[in-house]
Structure 1
């Protein structure tokens, strides 16, 4: 009996510890307590290694605040030449006027200037994106900076690996930064071949290092390519055959990526170099990396980013503000829908106030638990008037939001709590009317490949399905 009492005391202490450490996010605390209750000893170990606060890690402090300050100084010197205000966007008449509150928020985001002299091309799928990136890499003369969550050693990956090796042999400075978990299946032979060819390769928090340092939960989910400071790419597409529709289960892969030329490329460059510093400890913020490009266009673009190392939850805050100030419509495409309480309330309030809210998400999931969690949110949102559409042609991986014809966002951030709080993410905020119309057209085209989730049928789902969704909902802050 004493052993039972001792065990109960240990569990109680562990629960109290979680409540004290996670009091700012009650839903996260509930999720961890549920795991602890189901697996008392294992749950405590998982919490110890997985749930540590990223910004408390000694390794972050060791990276050198002085180096980061020096990098920012170079960056701020560049910002002076192209930073705009939100009123400049409205005055340029490139889109519908922004709500004042949203405009002031965007203008106040640190290290994320609104830029004007850009040309943006929307890329619709993996094949178009790969061809565009490889063509730009072929023309590189000075440097190529590549950052991806996932790079595989399959056919698609070999195209990029061979291109990087060849450009490095031509004297082009090539850096490759991959996430240690997302790219864990990349073959060691390919990594060695890249390094032997002169490519600088680094992995962001490799699994064992991240586990021992209690940062395994924090992943670099960004997809960034910068070529000669002139051309940049950002969006949802990693490098792998599945993005070409070769996944045996998911089939056709619908995604969105952007090609950007102009001043916004400097923001992509800045973010890549900061991530390179975090990963390697090497500060390479050279003024040459921000050489002033020729004017490419007149489109306004803002690059925003967030991660566990930043003080702001920038992407979450922009999503919330944009949805809360919507006047006509909010159209969302996301592969993973696990909104935090603020986004949940913003969507409900927008729909109840007469704003048309439509959300596209996959019918065929790549994670069953994540799908259960997503479905758990549908009933209350549909009661408020939000409409959901399941993509049936294959797997939709696009992360895109279009609001009122005045603003659109494309990038790496899903509408889920992992993207909001745990991952390193990056989005492009777009204000150009023509680009927004293109994204509107893509959304309407995707609706043709969807089936609407009907409220009457959904509420009649089976009791076992509701139990699965309840479990997914409890765990959703950790997914």
Structure 2
């Protein structure tokens, strides 16, 4: 033993050198073989080769996708509509409800996502917590069979307690209730609302709960999805978390603005399929049966709106939203309106926006004048010149922070949901959006965005270039970290 110890003391630098080389080689090979983005692969290979020990550790923490694709994204399951049902509720033609240019976009959606575009749907725009939370509470209180709720953040505050109380009351009435909250998002308030829910008998789970001692490993790959499905028939989805800050009566002049959507019709089935898969991935419990998946053919189908769910995430659905937005920008003819709290598009999206503007399409982008994430705001500013010099218009809104995520094309097509236009949403988070072929909704959203523009400040290239050098340097330095902001 003494001899071995002496040998180690003599040769430990050589042992560390060899161990470092082995770890770096393994990490570099893994990055080269698994990364689809060549820039990401080159970046990680460089980090692990030129940073002994630290590089492989950083790659293990932030570079490896630990989600098993077959468990998360196998959307074609026993819960999906059979083909004969799909044929009846399928939206066959979108030209009449949107425009001829959107026929190609519909075909793109068919090939990008496993979900088909379904007709006969209803959708209602809800402005902020003042409209959204009362509607959600009314739906929860009317539930007879089942409630499925998923959120990134579910705060333990007055509105969180109110919704939790309604869920607990539903359990007491005999309603089956499942609540899925992201493990990181659940920590935004203390004590977590999970304790109240579980004490009240609500089946609650945390998505990607960190393993003790390995919390950093799970800092990425969050579930940012928001949905509520009642009795398999009524639903809500959009970009709103459950927080008191969205209620005017509570937050008053500091209220955060946002949008959410109340939906009905066959699209509810797709929302429920998304929830069922995330729940099964988290808990291994399979959700099936009429209590959760209502038979859409049991009711008379009424004329409605073509809608499709577009799930995206770091699995087989990676890049779905990116592809849909690229397709939408390619077919735009007159006007693209975007409202996003965190606007950090990658180079392909920047090029698509610039190309649309150069084709003569009006491109309006509304971002918060007062952002709740200062670092993200700085990184956003570092990219403005790439858009402004091509003719895109960027507006800084006035008033309090607006968390809305809205994208419309030609007053006829809308893309709304949980996705921000930043690297985290487009590649790292599990997101859920819907595309809607409907002039009425698109024009409602256009009116909302135009109202924001009317009180906004136009960002100009000259003003950006006149900023002090140290401010511009700070923005660029922060921008370098934008994939992980």
Q: Deviations over 1:397-449 (max 9, x none)?
A: 11110101221011000111111111110111111221111111111111123
Q: Deviations over 1:106-147 (max 9, x none)?
A: 222443121111111001111111111111111111111000
Structure 1 residues 276 and 213 mapped into 2: Cα distance closer, same or farther (>3 Å)? Answer: farther
Tell me by how many angstroms 1:354 deviates. Answer: 0.9
Structure 1 residues 40 and 351 mapped into 2: Cα distance closer, same or farther (>3 Å)? Answer: farther
Alignment of structure 1 residues 244-255 onto 2, 5 Å = 244=247, 251-255=254-258
Work out which of the residue numbers 176, 187, 191 in structure 1 matches 2:194: 191
Is 1:45 the counterpart of 2:57? The answer is yes
Work out whether residues 334 and 399 of structure 1, in 8 Å CA contact, stay in contact via their aligned partners in 2: yes
Structure 1 residues 471 and 86 mapped into 2: Cα distance closer, same or farther (>3 Å)? Answer: farther
* Aligned partner of residue 74 in structure 1, secondary structure: coil
Is 1:398 the counterpart of 2:404? The answer is yes
Q: Distance in 2 between the 1:30 and 1:337 partners?
A: 25
Structure 1 residues 40 and 83 mapped into 2: Cα distance closer, same or farther (>3 Å)? Answer: farther
Give 1:300's aligned residue.
Answer: 306
Tell me by how many angstroms 1:86 deviates. Answer: 6.2
Greater C-alpha Rg: 2
Q: Distance in 2 between the 1:310 and 1:268 partners?
A: 18
Give 2:466's aligned residue.
Answer: 460
Q: Distance in 1 between the 2:378 and 2:52 partners?
A: 24
Work out whether residues 276 and 287 of structure 2, in 8 Å CA contact, stay in contact via their aligned partners in 1: yes
Work out which of the residue numbers 148, 155, 160 in structure 1 matches 2:158: 155
Is 1:320 the counterpart of 2:326? The answer is yes
Work out which of the residue numbers 168, 172, 176 in structure 2 matches 1:173: 176
Alignment of structure 1 residues 118-267 onto 2, 5 Å = 118-187=121-190, 190-208=193-211, 211=214, 214-244=217-247, 251-267=254-270
Q: Deviations over 1:36-93 (max 9, x none)?
A: 89987656433312221234x5xx66x599xx68x71331427734666665222xx2
Work out whether residues 51 and 217 of structure 1, in 8 Å CA contact, stay in contact via their aligned partners in 2: no
Is 1:285 the counterpart of 2:288? The answer is yes
* Aligned partner of residue 94 in structure 2, secondary structure: helix
Give 1:116's aligned residue.
Answer: 119
Work out which of the residue numbers 232, 248, 272 in structure 1 matches 2:275: 272
Give 2:8's aligned residue.
Answer: none
Give 2:79's aligned residue.
Answer: 74
Tell me by how many angstroms 1:208 deviates. Answer: 3.2
Q: Distance in 2 between the 1:79 and 1:247 partners?
A: 49
Is 1:383 the counterpart of 2:386? The answer is no
Q: Distance in 2 between the 1:310 and 1:420 partners?
A: 13
Structure 1 residues 220 and 380 mapped into 2: Cα distance closer, same or farther (>3 Å)? Answer: same
> Which shifted more, 255-264 or 39-48?
39-48
Work out whether residues 147 and 230 of structure 2, in 8 Å CA contact, stay in contact via their aligned partners in 1: yes
Q: Distance in 1 between the 2:84 and 2:180 partners?
A: 25
RMSD (CA atoms): 3.2
> Which shifted more, 179-188 or 357-366?
179-188
TM-score by length of 1: 0.88
Work out which of the residue numbers 429, 448, 461 in structure 2 matches 1:423: 429
Tell me by how many angstroms 1:34 deviates. Answer: 9.1
Tell me by how many angstroms 1:96 deviates. Answer: 2.5
Work out which of the residue numbers 44, 54, 58 in structure 1 matches 2:66: 54
Work out whether residues 115 and 302 of structure 1, in 8 Å CA contact, stay in contact via their aligned partners in 2: yes
Structure 1 residues 159 and 459 mapped into 2: Cα distance closer, same or farther (>3 Å)? Answer: same
Work out which of the residue numbers 433, 436, 451 in structure 1 matches 2:457: 451
Q: Distance in 1 between the 2:249 and 2:483 partners?
A: 31
> Which shifted more, 34-43 or 224-233?
34-43
Structure 1 residues 29 and 367 mapped into 2: Cα distance closer, same or farther (>3 Å)? Answer: farther
Work out whether residues 223 and 238 of structure 1, in 8 Å CA contact, stay in contact via their aligned partners in 2: yes
Structure 1 residues 211 and 102 mapped into 2: Cα distance closer, same or farther (>3 Å)? Answer: farther
* Aligned partner of residue 388 in structure 1, secondary structure: strand
Work out which structure has the larger RCO, using CA pairs closer than 8 Å and 6 or more positions apart in sequence: 1
Structure 1 residues 311 and 444 mapped into 2: Cα distance closer, same or farther (>3 Å)? Answer: closer
Q: Distance in 1 between the 2:240 and 2:342 partners?
A: 15
Work out whether residues 258 and 402 of structure 2, in 8 Å CA contact, stay in contact via their aligned partners in 1: yes
Structure 1 residues 459 and 258 mapped into 2: Cα distance closer, same or farther (>3 Å)? Answer: same
TM-score by length of 2: 0.87
Q: Distance in 1 between the 2:309 and 2:458 partners?
A: 32
Structure 1 residues 248 and 377 mapped into 2: Cα distance closer, same or farther (>3 Å)? Answer: farther
* Aligned partner of residue 419 in structure 2, secondary structure: coil
> Which shifted more, 436-445 or 15-24?
15-24
Unpaired segments ≥5 residues, structure 2? 1-11
Work out whether residues 226 and 241 of structure 2, in 8 Å CA contact, stay in contact via their aligned partners in 1: yes
Tell me by how many angstroms 1:24 deviates. Answer: 3.5
